[in-house]
């Protein structure tokens, strides 16, 4: 059965994720920390499976892609050169009555980050906190988290001129995108492994954004993770490379992450809504239970980044073609996807409720490559030592072969099946009295609940 009550489907996913140890609110025990989320034992397995699936597909199985893993705290020149210090800002508006602060464009429909105070006040929405309509002016709020690197004391910021200078010069930022760690390593990679253009550098890792209003469960976080690829191409071939990557990514989303094509929608971003450095951007939107939202973006960033790195570092970022000898600064196609948004899309796609044995069953129909456990092994009866002993033997064998195998001898067999359905385990293996006779086991399928007998050696 397809679930139609979208808001309640999201509530059901949130509840399942907490109940079964996939996702907890960050710092839960202390009342939470807005915009942060912690992955529990099953969540971290799902997350690792997603990371491995992505890495294997985009890096290991290709000859034109290579991985890097750059530091999170980078030289602050990075963010001057990239434009983040000047422009990575959202429109902040404050209610003059209750002093709550909001992202202005999220309070009115149809506006982007470039909304002006005049446009906002022409609509004059009610404050979501106090209901009044007495607003201040829109201010630009830079979303980078800053910190001090080195032995700087809080009092240095208001101390002597040299203390203030020390404090000022020690400011660094937690990276707001992983991409800059790729651009700043472009020359290191070219000078060490001599890849031929077109080639891609891939990175997965944490990014930090001090979002004014984190929201929509794990969709807009202050600490998130990104899968980013910078694909370096000859300037004349950007359009065809863009097209190829777009198609390859859509295939990846449907074939490897199990997202249905009908839930994915491409949005050609208009010139006025694109980042100023981008000549073309497609947002890949996903039909989440609470509405359509951006899952990822594919942007043509021209040579904006490499040229800025060249200017700010004084280093040459030109590439010399090995056959023609032509030199040029490569242009870049960038597919960028958030891990949390991918996880919520995967969970939304996989979550089903159906009727089984007169009861409502919750089942996560996760693709096998993403399911935390591939098998669950159980003895039919926990109080029969001969069944338990044989089941342990089968468990050890499967664990050695597939690693992600769990053991369950709690409750009755029906309850075990329900529990494994909820966490997305594709197959449950049950050892019963026939097993002792003929070395066959029952294998029960998560999606159909059908059971077949299989020889242990054939598992």
Query: Under the rule (CB under 6 A), what is the footprint of ligand GAP?
Result: 177, 179, 209, 211, 220-221, 224, 226, 228, 294-297, 336-338, 340-341
DSSP string for 138-162: -EEEE---EEE-SS--GGGGGS-HH
Q: How far is the CB of 286 from ligand GAP (least distance, A)?
A: 10
- Indicate the residue among 197 and 337 with the shorter CB distance to ligand GAP: 337
- Indicate the residue among 197 and 295 with the shorter CB distance to ligand GAP: 295
The residue among 231, 350, 224 whose CA lies nearest residue 294 is 224
Max Cα-Cα span within the chain:
85
Residues with Cβ < 8 Å from 181, sequence gap 6 or more?
Answer: 68, 70, 71, 74, 175, 203, 205
Give the pair of three-digit tokens for residue 152.
């700087």
State which residue has the least CB distance to ligand GAP: 338
What are 141's strand-pairing partners? 90
61 class by beta-carbon count within 10 Å (0-12 exposed, 13-18 middle, 19+ buried): exposed
Q: How far is the CB of 138 from ligand GAP (least distance, A)?
A: 20
- Indicate the residue among 249 and 417 with the shorter CB distance to ligand GAP: 249
- Indicate the residue among 9 and 341 with the shorter CB distance to ligand GAP: 341
Give the pair of three-digit tokens for residue 331.
């242009």
Per the listing, tokens 């997350």 go with: 47
Q: At 258, is the secondary structure helix, strand, or coil?
A: coil
- Indicate the residue among 220 and 390 with the shorter CB distance to ligand GAP: 220
State the Cα–Cα distance between residues 298 and 344, nearest whole angstrom: 19
């Amino acid at each position: 059965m397809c679930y139609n009550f979208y808001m309640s489907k999201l509530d059901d996913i949130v509840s399942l994720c907490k109940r079964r140890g996939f996702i907890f609110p960050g710092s839960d025990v202390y009342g939470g920390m807005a915009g942060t989320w912690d992955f529990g034992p099953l969540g971290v397995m799902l997350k690792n499976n997603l990371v491995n699936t992505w890495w294997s597909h985009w890096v290991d199985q290709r000859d034109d892609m290579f991985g890097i893993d750059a530091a999170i705290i980078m030289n602050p020149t990075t963010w001057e050169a990239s434009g983040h210090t000047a422009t990575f800002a959202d429109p902040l508006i404050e209610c003059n009555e209750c002093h709550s602060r909001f992202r202005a464009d999220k309070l009115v429909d149809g506006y982007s980050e470039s909304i002006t105070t005049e446009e906002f006040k022409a609509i004059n929405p009610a404050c979501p906190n106090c209901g009044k309509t007495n607003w201040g002016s829109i201010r630009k709020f830079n979303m980078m988290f800053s910190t001090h690197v080195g032995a700087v004391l809080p009092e240095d910021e208001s101390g002597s001129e040299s203390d203030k200078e020390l404090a000022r010069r020690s400011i660094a930022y937690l990276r707001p995108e992983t991409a800059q760690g790729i651009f700043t390593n472009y020359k290191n990679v070219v000078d060490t492994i001599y890849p031929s253009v077109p080639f891609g550098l891939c990175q997965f890792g944490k990014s930090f954004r001090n979002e004014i209003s984190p929201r929509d469960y794990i969709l807009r976080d202050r600490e998130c993770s990104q899968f980013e690829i910078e694909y370096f191409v000859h300037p004349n071939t950007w359009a065809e490379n863009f097209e190829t990557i777009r198609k390859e990514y859509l295939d990846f989303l449907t074939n490897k992450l199990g997202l249905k094509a009908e839930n994915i929608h491409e949005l050609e971003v208009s010139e006025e809504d694109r980042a100023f450095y981008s000549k073309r951007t497609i947002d890949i939107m996903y039909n989440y239970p609470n509405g359509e939202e951006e899952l990822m973006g594919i942007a043509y960033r021209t040579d904006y980044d490499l040229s800025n790195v060249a200017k700010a570092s004084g280093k040459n970022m030109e590439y010399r073609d090995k056959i023609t000898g032509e030199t040029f600064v490569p242009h870049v196609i960038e597919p960028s996807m958030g891990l949390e948004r991918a996880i919520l899309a995967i969970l939304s796609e996989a979550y089903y409720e159906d009727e089984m044995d007169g009861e409502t069953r919750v089942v996560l129909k996760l693709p096998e490559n993403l399911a935390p456990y591939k098998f669950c092994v159980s003895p039919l009866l926990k109080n029969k030592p001969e069944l338990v002993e044989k089941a342990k033997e089968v468990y050890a064998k499967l664990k050695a072969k597939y690693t992600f195998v769990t053991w369950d001898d709690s409750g009755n067999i029906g309850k075990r099946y329900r529990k494994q359905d909820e966490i997305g385990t594709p197959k449950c293996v049950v050892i019963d009295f026939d097993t002792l006779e003929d070395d066959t086991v029952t294998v029960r399928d998560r999606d159909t609940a059908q059971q077949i007998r299989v020889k242990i050696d054939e598992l």
